[in-house]
Structure 1
């Protein structure tokens, strides 16, 4: 999820607390402890060290493409004018 939403580790921790669909996807519940940002960071580094983050993204993209959904890698920029 962090790869797809480009969230920092603390933002990912917050999202797991605040967004029920992310908790459900991750198999987490508020009944038990949610991983803190340092645990998320360690897990992300483990994925990166073994090249799994890109592999997971590519596999998910292929699965979605076969289901008729297009998934692309991009950047989101906030252009709010105050």
Structure 2
């Protein structure tokens, strides 16, 4: 999918609307969230199932750029909020 999806162009379109680090919890990398969103679309995962899959399937974590040993995983609300961001913009 790295050869087919124009990641850099998509990231550039979304970046102005994506959360910046500030007073709250540090946001996940935009590229990670976009890859998670794409996996949801490709596999038909709900937000809750996507969260669970990230915990259980190393290949999905790897594609998203997450390290299961050191990184926290986005929860279903974070995934939902990112999808709403994309829908809104």
Same fold (TM over 0.5): yes
- Match of 1:3, SS state, is helix
Q: Which has the larger radius of gyration?
A: 1
Instruction: State the shift of 1:32 in Å.
Output: 1.4
TM-score (norm 1): 0.57
Residues in 2 aligned to 1:21 and 1:48: alpha-carbon distance in whole angstroms: 27
Which residue number corresponds to residue 11 of structure 1? 49
TM-score (norm 2): 0.53
Unaligned ranges ≥5, structure 2: 1-38
Instruction: State the shift of 1:43 in Å.
Output: 0.6
Which residue number corresponds to residue 8 of structure 2? none
| CA deviation string 1:7-36 (max 9, x = no partner) | 110100000011111101100111111000
Unaligned ranges ≥5, structure 1: 51-82
Which residue number corresponds to residue 23 of structure 1? 61
2:72 paired with 1:33:
yes
Regions of 4+ moved over 6 Å: none
